[in-house]
Chain A
Amino acid sequence: MSVEPFNKLVKLAARAFYDDITTKGDNQPKTGRSDNRGIAVVVLDALTRRQWVREEDLAKDLKLHSKQLRRTLRFFEEEKLVTRDHRRETAKGAKIYSAAVAATVDGHPLKEGEEKVKMHTHSYCCLDYAQIYDVIRYRLHRMKKKLKDELDNKNTVQEYICPNCGKRYTALDALRLISMEDEFFHCESCNGELVAESDKLAAQEGGDGDDNARRRRREKLKDMLQNLEVQLKPLMDQLTRVKDLPVPEFGTLHAWEARASAAVRAANGDAGAIDPSKSSQGLGYGGTSLPFVGDTKVEVDFSGTEGKGENIKSETESSSLKVLPPWMIKEGMKLTKEQRGEVKQELRMDGSSAAVEFSDDKKATIENDDKKNIQDEYIKAYYAALLKKQQELDEAAKKEHELSNTHSLNGVSDTTSNRQVGIKSKRDEDEGDDDVEWEEAPVAGNSNENYKVNDLNVQADASGDDEDDIDWEEG
């Protein structure tokens, strides 16, 4: 929907037809200073750069007095170029409008904080492009028709004028006007001899109705018609250009506001843009809340589309995995085996198991708080010992690992251990506990234990290997 050709049309029409329109009241003396011809063109031009605009704002922008502007706009409304809308609204309602303006004319900061509850009548105006197109076409048609009719005297009703009293008659009155005495028409009121108003457009020269005058008149009309064709050619060209274009339609003020604010929300993208303050404003304003509550947006992504297909697939896989928490996975479940192999799934698993662990950890921390101090010292000593032990275990585990075929179980433990890597930092305190447990029942294969080991091992490079080995053992 491009507005540009239509704007050009409006500008051309403004210059062609409204160039010397003055909106001064007739009673006011026309001094040079108050001569406001050309204002109409300025206003129309300004409107082409806007959509719906509050008239006060427009007046401010044009540095015009609002009364003067309103007079001009009223004139255009009568000319059917402009649609106007008036409504009583609070400052809040006005804000809705400014929000809409901000959406279309970016860079208008929203004025906040004016909290007058007073109702004001605000007027808005907007170009009505569809109608403008028709109005201009009709105007051109009428101009041409009038000249052409005049030119070959077709379909024109002759008018007669009384030179004495200025009363006008048309040929339709002819029957009443004939007098018995002579062959002229006579005025009904003063009995003066009527003169044919030989033409309205060309200046009257010399004798009425005689051949010479008629011929001169015809020439003049021909000239006028030619001038019309030449001078209005750009306008007519623009009309033909615009003919097949879709007319820009802003709708009513209200619809436009709704659309504009919806657009701004869409532009912001995030759902947060539908801030509650705005929607509450909407509710406050005349009860017409609907447009401001936020549009329901439904986005349907078809998984079949090429580009996104893969991502979606992996996600669904992981989600399907998520359905099976680690504790549900048993040895027999071969189905999930391949999936577990995938990185993504592992991450997912980590997440879910982490949650489980967290709760465990919390309990543990409570218990551990008192022990903490003791543990801290103990841990250091313990780790030294543990490292050695793990290395031993490592070797043993490797041997065992080769023996043990239960791959599925291994997978599970793998993932849990990975997750622990992420969580470690918080768990330091727990380590003591775990370690103790570990020592007591290393076979239990508690995941907590494992991760604690990792934490401690951060400094020790071998930690990764150690974990894995231990997991294997658990399996």
Chain B
Amino acid sequence: MFFHIVLERNMQLHPRHFGRNLRDNIVAKLMKDVEGTCSGRHGFVVAITGIENIGKGLIRDGTGFVSFPVKYQCVVFRPFKGEILEAVVTMVNKMGFFAEAGPVQIFVSNHLIPDDMEFQSGDMPNYTTSDGSVKIQKDSEVRLKIIGTRVDATEIFCIGTIKDDFLGVINDPAAA
């Protein structure tokens, strides 16, 4: 699920950036530092949408670095248990398949794949129905439901299922 929230961060800036572009430099550094990171609490920071305010800088003793408290608006993405996501399959093996929904990695074990889909090993390992009409392989797009999340301080990993109504392949690149 996506959220638009305000976060705060102390930015350390090297003195060489001081000048009339100070503000731009701060924002640029913030984006570089923050976008794409993941915190267990808020999820993945997708994009910074704006700066609320930049506080007074504080010169660090000894280094000359200045730290600015920056409040910024950003879009975060945090997966929740029970959430339905669309994801791209990245790897298929005997144990199931892995998929990515943006920054999130999702594993779907073979128990959570419909019973009528069989694993086919080979050059392109895939799960296929007996009549061959549906095939899950690398780069397939699937809709899945998250049934479990593992949230670490800097990492979120999910397991999902496609064994439910309206879940499964939504766009097969092979067919396209």
Residues of A within 8 A of B (CB): 152-158, 160, 171-175, 178, 183-185, 196, 198, 209, 211, 214
Contacts and interface: CB of A to CB of B under 8 A. Distances in A.
Contacts of B125: 183
B129 interface: no
Interface centre among A156, A171, A211, A214 (most CB of B within 10 A): A171
Given A153-B112, A157-B148, A158-B112, A171 B93 contact: no
Contacts of B110: 196, 209
B46 interface: no
B22 interface: no
B4 to A, nearest CB: 28
B39 interface: no
B159 A178 contact: no
Contacts of A183: 93-95, 121, 125
B95 A185 contact: yes
B171 to A, nearest CB: 24
Given A183-B121, A196-B109, A196-B111, A178 B147 contact: no
For B94, B95, B147, B164, the residue with the greatest tally of chain A CB atoms inside 10 Å of its CB is: B95
A174 B94 contact: no
B148 A172 contact: yes
B77 interface: no
Contact of B109 (A152, A174, A175): A174
B98 interface: yes
Nearest to A153: B111
A183 B98 CA distance: 12
Contacts of A154: 147, 161, 163-164
B54 interface: no
Interface of B is mostly: strand
Interface in B157-173: 157, 159, 161, 163-164
Contacts of A196: 95, 109-111
Contacts of A178: 91, 93, 98
Contacts of A174: 95-96, 98, 107, 109, 157, 159
A203 B115 CA distance: 20
Nearest to A199: B111
A184 B111 contact: no
15 contacts: A153-B111, A154-B147, A155-B161, A157-B147, A158-B96, A158-B109, A158-B112, A158-B159, A160-B95, A171-B107, A184-B93, A184-B95, A196-B95, A209-B110, A214-B115
B73 interface: no
Going nearest first, the 3 A-B pairs with the smallest beta carbon separation are: A183-B93, A174-B107, A172-B150
| Residue from the set A154, A156, A158, A214 with the largest chain B CB neighbour count within 10 Å | A158
Contacts of B95: 160, 174, 183-185, 196
B12 interface: no
B105 A171 contact: no
Given A154-B163, A160-B95, A175-B105, 8 more contacts: A153-B161, A154-B147, A154-B161, A158-B109, A172-B159, A175-B98, A183-B93, A196-B110
Interface string B91-126: 101111010000001010111100100000100010
Contacts of B157: 172, 174-175
Nearest to B112: A153
Interface in B76-101: 91, 93-96, 98
A115 to B, nearest CB: 64
Interface in B119-144: 121, 125
Contacts of B105: 175
A183 to B, nearest CB: 3
A171 B148 contact: yes
B118 to A, nearest CB: 8
A174 B93 CA distance: 12
A175 B95 CA distance: 12
Contacts of B148: 155, 157, 171-172
Contacts of A158: 96, 109, 111-112, 159
Contact of B159 (A153, A157, A209, A211): A157
Nearest to A194: B95
Nearest to A183: B93
Contacts of A211: 115
A171 B159 contact: yes
A153 to B, nearest CB: 5
A173 B152 CA distance: 12
Nearest to A176: B157
Nearest to B114: A153
A108 B141 CA distance: 77
